[in-house]
Amino acid sequence: MPDPIEALLLAITHSRAGRYVEAETILCDVLAAEPDQPNALFLLGQCMLADGRAAEATSFLARGLALRPTHRDGRVALARAQMAAGEPFDALDTLAPLVGDHGLAAVHTLRGTALNALGRPAEAVDAFTIALRGSPLDAETHLNLGNAHSDLGKRDLAERHIRNAIAIKPDLAEAHASLGHLLAETHRLAEAVACAQAAIDLQPDFAAAHWNQGVALLLSGDMAAGWEKYEWRKRRFPDSFTNPPGLQWDGGPLDGRTILVLAEQGLGDTIQFARYFPMLAARGATVMVECAGSLVLLLQAMPGVAIACTRGERPDHDLWVDQMSLPRLFRTTLADVPAPTAYLQADPARAAHWNRLLPVGLRVGLVWAGNPLHSNDANRSMPIAALGPILDAAQGSLISLQVGASASEVASLPGVADVTEHLTDWKETASAIASMDLIVTVDTAVAHMAGALGIPVWVMLPYAPDWRWMLDRTDSPWYAGMRLFRQARPGDWTGVVDQVAAALAEVVRPAPSAFVAPYTIAMPPLTWSVAPVTQPASSDAK
């Protein structure tokens, strides 16, 4: 082989020209002769990283850094590879010896990126701010700082830095996409759509930009265009989608065929779009639904559903479809949303059981928090301390339907009954909700369940709501019995609660005097008898 120095220089030439395979071949020869050559290890790792093989790159870069721990560029390269491999904790550890050097902009940009990935935006802001002192015209750092500010709800600062990024680097597609997302959150929907389009013009296959544009279109009520763009969710979040065997339904004939509907995203999404199952059956299909286990009993009893099974069971079928593609395939618009009144039914016997056990008088179900793992939970869930005016207005008629991590907080709410230990699955929850006169909730699956059952429901929404609630309206085309209460400003739950309390005071009648302290309603153990389900034979028609 040639002289090692000449070989390294030749490998550098190949790598700078993007000829990574040629560079790697030379470097492997160098390492075969001299396994502990740190420069070859560093360069090989960087070639692999540039070639999209982050996991392999980390191995060689770590070997090089072990041999030369003071090699600053090698340490930065290893951190980049660790970030690309989805290892932000490791990247922070790798960068730790360089944190004190505020002149290394790349170090602090990487640290900020890792901190953001770990859900620590306040620390990320500090890191990006330090990075900009050393490199004030770095467009990517301005963009990252803007995104971190956005995560903290500081939208003015976020917009300033994202616009700085665009001014410095107008062809930075990610900045246009991020600005579009931010503008949608601040209700500037036409601008949001335009920004997303600017990103798409620069990078036609940019899934996040198409997704952001779809969300803005749906928020504006433009369902026809919005549903088309919403299909990009599958490329935006590819790990959430797996195609089963068979053909994907394209809206064509269904007579005599079995179709497997794949529930997706959250429980509320499954409940909201379950309205389409009877429509599939009406076209002659045998409908099978793959969903979360807690929804199986509820959906199995739904008209038009032949089989409901847990995720991964995948019974034999002719066709399949992702559930949230159904509005597009049925060409749903604001004018013809199907089944806005009621399309689910509670078990009559269980509902009667709940009616006997719950207190006489007005019954108002209450939920103040969603799943803490939800990406927007910090905005959509309400601090329990904010509920005071609702408690006063309800005059003891509240019944907690809160589940999950926040369920125990009911102990601090005077006069609120607690039945959550009996909400064992969504079929039981549906029976409890059907026994209520009204549901007051933040944006959770309970809101969808109440709406699907036709029970009046008031939903308390953050300033930047989910796309399905649109903007500037107090009703929802999805649920006829729903009333929406919106924040006038980001984070302003006080105004929302005051509105709900005033509306509640108009409908509340005095409740029994027993509602004076938190208490738990005692119920006998719940048992279910479920007949075995026989899977229908798959049709020969393909």
Listed in sequence order, the residues at least 6 apart from 96 whose beta carbon sits closer than 8 Å to its beta carbon are: none
| Residues 260-317: tens digit of each pLDDT | 999 999 999 999 999 999 999 999 999 999 999 999 999 999 999 999 999 888 889 9
Residue 2 near residue 10 (C-beta atoms within 8 A)? yes
Listed in sequence order, the residues at least 6 apart from 458 whose beta carbon sits closer than 8 Å to its beta carbon are: 438, 439, 440, 441, 482, 483, 484, 485, 500, 503
Tokens 């001299």, residue located: 34
Structure tokens that stand for 393 in this block: 């207005």
State the pLDDT confidence band at 371, using cuts at 50, 70 and 90.
confident
State the pLDDT confidence band at 76, using cuts at 50, 70 and 90.
very high
What gap in Å lies between CA 542 and CA 538, rounded to an integer? 10
Structure tokens that stand for 528 in this block: 């279910």
Instruction: Return the pLDDT at 526.
Output: 39
| Residues 414-448: tens digit of each pLDDT | 889 888 888 888 989 999 999 999 999 999 999 99
End-to-end Cα distance, the chain: 60
| Alpha helices by DSSP H, 96-138 | 105-117, 121-134
Q: What are phi and psi of 431, to 5 degrees?
A: -65, -40
Residue 269 near residue 374 (C-beta atoms within 8 A)? no
Q: Are strands 519-520 and 398-400 parallel, antiparallel or unpaired?
A: unpaired
What gap in Å lies between CA 167 and CA 96, rounded to an integer? 32
Q: Is 328 exposed, middle or buried (0-12, 13-18, 19+ CB in 10 A)?
A: middle
With b for 16 or more beta-carbon neighbours within 10 A and e for fewer, the 117-149 pattern comes to beebbebbbbbbebbbebbeebbbbbbbbbbbb
The 3-state secondary structure of 436-472 reads CCEEEEECCHHHHHHHHHCCCEEEEECCCCCHHHCCC
| Residues 90-103: tens digit of each pLDDT | 999 999 999 887 67
Q: What is the DSSP letter of 345?
A: -
- Give the type of residue at 209: A
What gap in Å lies between CA 81 and CA 78, rounded to an integer? 5
What gap in Å lies between CA 339 and CA 274, rounded to an integer? 10
Position with higher pLDDT, 470 vs 516? 470
What gap in Å lies between CA 418 and CA 398, rounded to an integer? 9
Q: In which element (H, E) is residue 190 found? A: helix 189-202
Tokens 């429980």, residue located: 267
Structure tokens that stand for 204 in this block: 């036609």
Instruction: Return the pLDDT at 2.
Output: 61
Q: Is the pLDDT of residue 516 over 70?
A: no
Instruction: Return the pLDDT at 509.
Output: 58
Q: Are strands 519-520 and 417-418 parallel, antiparallel or unpaired?
A: parallel
| Residues 165-188: tens digit of each pLDDT | 999 999 999 999 999 999 999 999
Tokens 């990252």, residue located: 144
Q: In which element (H, E) is residue 228 found? A: helix 223-230
Residue 197 near residue 445 (C-beta atoms within 8 A)? no
Domains of the chain as residue ranges with CATH: 4-235 (1.25.40.10), 244-336 (3.40.50), 348-520 (3.40.50.2000)
Per-state percent for the chain, helix, strand, coil, to nearest 5 = 55, 10, 35
What DSSP string describes 374-396? STTHHHHS--GGGGHHHHHHHTT
CB atoms within 10 A of CB 194: 16
* Mean pLDDT for the stretch of residues 362-366: 94
Residue 115 near residue 92 (C-beta atoms within 8 A)? yes
Nearest one of 222, 224, 230, 139 to 176, comparing CA atoms: 139
* Mean pLDDT for the stretch of residues 223-250: 93
Provide, rounded to the nearest whole percent, the portion of the chain with pLDDT above 70: 93
Q: How far is CA 396 from CA 42, 112, 113, 367, in A?
A: 68, 48, 48, 15
